[in-house]
């Protein structure tokens, strides 16, 4: 007697390509990191970002947890408008320029703090 094995249906989530790209980039993940987290090849994940392939509900849950976003954000019709990232978030951490930029950033903030304190003391 042959045993009949039912194939599990896979539910695919219709995520807008622009939303997929926004979720990954705004969370600071690279294509390689995301594809490793999902256990898929990089080109497979790229197909999801281009809209050529829909992620499964299981993959959306994994991404939602990784990106620190609710699952509902994957169902948005378009990425929301966001203010640009602060200058500190745009630094490349693996270069000497990063450290020089950070020193400049802190020196400028220190000047602003001292200026504010002096204005406050004059009142």
pLDDT tens over the chain, length 123 residues: 677 766 777 888 899 999 999 998 888 888 888 999 899 999 999 999 999 999 999 999 999 998 899 999 999 999 988 776 565 555 555 555 667 777 778 888 888 777 777 776 665
- Do residues 19 and 54 lie in contact, with contact meaning Cβ atoms separated by under 8 Å? no
pTM for the full predicted model: 0.60
Pairwise CA distance, residues 91 & 97, whole Å: 8
Separation between Cα atoms, residue 31 and residue 41, nearest integer Å: 10
Q: Which residues pair with 12 in a beta bridge?
A: 56
To 5 degrees, how large is the angle CA 106–CA 112–CA 114? 100
């Amino acid at each position: 007697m042959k045993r009949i094995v039912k194939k599990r249906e896979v539910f695919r989530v219709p995520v807008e390509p622009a939303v997929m790209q926004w979720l990954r980039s705004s969370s600071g993940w690279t294509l390689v990191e995301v594809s490793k987290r999902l256990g898929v090849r990089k080109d497979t994940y790229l197909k999801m970002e281009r809209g050529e392939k829909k992620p499964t509900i299981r993959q959306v849950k994994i991404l939602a947890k990784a990106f620190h976003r609710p699952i509902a954000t994957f169902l948005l019709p378009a990425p929301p408008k966001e203010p640009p990232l602060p200058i500190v978030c745009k630094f490349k951490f693996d270069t000497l320029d990063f450290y020089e930029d950070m020193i400049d950033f802190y020196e400028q903030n220190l000047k602003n703090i001292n200026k504010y304190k002096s204005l406050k003391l004059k009142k």
